[in-house]
């Protein structure tokens, strides 16, 4: 029996799709799943007639691979990944490569990289984005870990990735958990954009009285312009989808509680730890949590229509608000990336490059941000803000109008509002932080800097403490 090129461990939705993708790119694939039945179903079903071989024993799976072996894990993040690695490690040889393609926390990947390196195993933590379709046809792949393993994987496994204008959406983001760090920030941005789209949907339907289908048409229209993106396109499709059993829009039959697996929260935690402001990402995570408090959501009346507002004008305002919020969500994510890049040693532009196709947050805005950043290198947030100042100022009146109308209609818009105050703070020549510094000094003697003198100062603020 000839040896196979690569092993896929874990046949969930992503594992199966990626195994099929790898095989289509000319690789011989070994697959293993903890439950034997799943492997059998896959081999007899979608993998039938392909160069994909299933194994029921881990040892046989490992031994079926050519050396150095390459094993890709598609296992639930957290302890399951550690358990699988522990089970595999004794069967591997020095130089073999383990790739974790799940949504693992980057700190876990830092740890696994070091632990496995001490055993001679080359570890790669890989952020894979694009959902099932991406895994099958071409995801965006963010690698971190052992560089020599990356260099090899880039030309083999990398063939399975999405391509944007001849450039493969595969990148290396430093040792340890660099790849997973970039993926976690990707997901934070994903949360923020989805929340902003949901706020626009709420405004269009509950606020302006459009049907879900009509909102879907508005999204489709927006998706042809500056808001062209996978997520707006997804929104346009799901909003128009009719449930075949009831004949009603399926989206209206879905319980309005958003779930989350934790990657958005990790992005916010990373922002807090690194001292970066990312209020829209935080608002999106927070709002998902808030939606689960359904029993408390029965107090206020439904929004009323506002007289004298033309739907056309309000829809345009919503579009401007969504564009500005989306752009600023990317900018906040880029701010976190930039801080993390100092630890992992990568370029923010490189993340934008691999996000141009395959991933969930691919969009016209990403393409433009990448272009801007590669043409004018500098501090990413400053460069992007400068390049987009005109657009942000232009969208301001619609953005404010959207917030004002939505608030009048009692429709919450935390993402759009947070993006506005983020932007207003960045463009303000003066902020009232001087008062905060004064009060800190008043009650705690924390000292303050003065505009007219060097150094730190303290005042007794006219009080005499005995």
CB of 300 to ligand 6PG, least distance (A): 27
Residues 6+ apart with CB under 8 A from 10: 32, 33, 34, 73, 74, 75, 84
Give me the 70-109 binding string for ligand 6PG, x by CB under 6 A, dash otherwise. ---------------------------------x------
Give me the 109-148 binding string for ligand 6PG, x by CB under 6 A, dash otherwise. --------------------xxx-----------------
DSSP assignment of 99-121, as one string?
Answer: EE-S---HHHHHHHHHHHHTTT-
| DSSP 3-state percent helix, strand, coil across the chain (nearest 5) | 55, 10, 35
Contact 9, 65 (CB under 8 A): no
Q: For residue 68, is the peptide bond before it cis, meaning its omega torsion is within 30 degrees of 0?
A: yes
199 is catalytic: no
DSSP assignment of 129-155, as one string?
Answer: ESHHHHHHH--EEEEEE-HHHHHHHHH
CA-CA distance, 21 to 161, in Å (whole number)? 9
If one counts every other C-beta atom within 10 angstroms of the C-beta of residue 375, the result is 10
Q: Judged by CB under 6 A, which of 20, 153, 239, 359 binds ligand 6PG?
A: 359
Residue identified by tokens 């958005």 is 264
CA-CA distance, 103 to 402, in Å (whole number)? 35
Give me the 284-313 binding string for ligand 6PG, x by CB under 6 A, dash otherwise. ------------------------------
Angle of CA points 23, 24, 27, to nearest 5°:
40
Q: Output the six-digit token pair for 185.
A: 């920030």
Catalytic residue among 16, 23, 175, 183: 183
DSSP assignment of 291-325, as one string?
Answer: HT-GGGTTSSPPP-PPTT--HHHHHHHHHHHHHHH
CB of 129 to ligand 6PG, least distance (A): 3
Contacts of ligand 6PG in 374-393 (CB under 6 A): none
CB of 139 to ligand 6PG, least distance (A): 7
Q: Judged by CB under 6 A, which of 100, 146, 190, 338 binds ligand 6PG?
A: 190
CA-CA distance, 98 to 109, in Å (whole number)? 11
Catalytic residue among 175, 190, 226, 367: 190
CB of 187 to ligand 6PG, least distance (A): 5
Residue, CB closest to ligand 6PG: 129
Residues paired with residue 246 on neighbouring β-strands, in sequence order: none
**Binding region for ligand 6PG (CB under 6 A) out of 25-33, 248-256, 261-269, 450-458:** 261-269
Q: Which long-range contacts (CB under 8 A, 24 or more apart) does 265-268 make?
A: 266/105, 266/106, 266/184, 266/187, 266/188, 267/184, 267/185, 267/187, 267/188, 267/189, 267/191, 267/333, 267/336, 268/188
Rule CB under 6 A: say whether 260 interacts with ligand 6PG: yes
Q: Beta-strand (E) ranges in 300-399?
A: none
Give me the 220-259 binding string for ligand 6PG, x by CB under 6 A, dash otherwise. ----------------------------------------
Contact 67, 94 (CB under 8 A): no
347 is catalytic: no
Contact 419, 328 (CB under 8 A): yes
CA-CA distance, 441 to 454, in Å (whole number)? 17
CA 456, distance to chain mean position in Å, is 40
Applying CB under 6 A, the site for ligand 6PG has a residue count of: 12
Q: Judged by CB under 6 A, which of 33, 70, 187, 329 binds ligand 6PG?
A: 187
If one counts every other C-beta atom within 10 angstroms of the C-beta of residue 242, the result is 13
Binding site for ligand 6PG (CB under 6 A): 103, 129-131, 187, 190, 260-261, 263-264, 359-360
Catalytic residues: 183, 190
């Amino acid at each position: 029996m000839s040896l196979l090129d690569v092993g896929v461990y874990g046949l969930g939705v992503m594992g199966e799709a990626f195994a099929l993708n790898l095989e289509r790119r000319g690789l011989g694939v070994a697959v293993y799943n903890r439950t034997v039945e799943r492997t059998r179903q896959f081999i007899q079903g979608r993998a039938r007639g392909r160069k994909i071989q299933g194994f029921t024993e881990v040892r046989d799976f490992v031994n079926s691979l050519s050396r150095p072996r390459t094993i890709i894990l598609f296992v639930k993040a957290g302890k399951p990944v550690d358990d699988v690695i522990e089970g595999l490690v004794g069967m591997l040889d020095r130089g073999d490569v383990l790739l974790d393609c799940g949504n693992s926390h980057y700190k876990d990947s830092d740890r696994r990289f070091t632990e496995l390196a001490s055993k001679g195993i080359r570890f790669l933590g890989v952020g894979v984005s694009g959902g099932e379709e991406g895994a099958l046809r071409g995801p965006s792949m963010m690698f971190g870990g052992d560089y020599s393993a990356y260099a090899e994987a880039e030309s083999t496994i990398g063939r399975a990735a999405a391509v944007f204008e001849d450039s493969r959406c595969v990148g290396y983001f430093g040792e340890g958990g660099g790849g997973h760090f970039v993926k976690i920030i990707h997901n934070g941005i994903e949360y923020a954009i989805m929340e902003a789209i949901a706020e626009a949907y709420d405004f269009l339907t509950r606020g302006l009285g459009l049907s879900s289908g009509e909102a879907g048409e508005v999204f489709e229209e927006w998706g042809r312009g500056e808001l062209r993106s996978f997520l707006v396109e997804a929104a346009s499709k799901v909003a128009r989808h009719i449930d075949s059993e009831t004949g009603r829009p399926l989206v209206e039959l879905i319980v309005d509680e958003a779930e989350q697996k934790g990657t958005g929260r990790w992005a916010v935690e990373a922002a807090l730890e690194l001292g970066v402001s990312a209020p829209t990402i935080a608002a999106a995570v927070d709002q998902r949590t808030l939606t689960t408090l359904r029993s408390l959501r029965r107090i206020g009346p439904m929004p009323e229509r506002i007289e004298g507002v033309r739907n056309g004008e309000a829809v345009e305002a919503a579009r401007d608000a969504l564009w500005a919020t989306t752009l600023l969500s990317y900018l906040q994510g880029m701010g976190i990336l930039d801080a993390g890049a100092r630890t992992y040693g990568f370029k923010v532009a490189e993340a934008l490059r691999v996000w141009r196709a395959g991933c969930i947050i691919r969009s016209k805005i990403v393409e433009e941000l990448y272009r801007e950043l590669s043409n004018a290198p500098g501090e990413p947030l400053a460069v992007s803000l400068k390049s987009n100042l005109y657009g942000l100022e232009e969208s301001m009146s619609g953005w404010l109008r959207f917030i004002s109308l939505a608030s009048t209609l009692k429709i919450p818009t935390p993402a759009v509002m947070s993006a506005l105050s983020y932007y207003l703070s960045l463009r303000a020549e003066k902020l009232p932080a001087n008062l905060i510094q004064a009060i800190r000094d008043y009650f705690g003697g924390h000292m303050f800097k003065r505009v007219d003198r060097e150094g730190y100062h303290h005042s007794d603020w006219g009080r005499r403490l005995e």
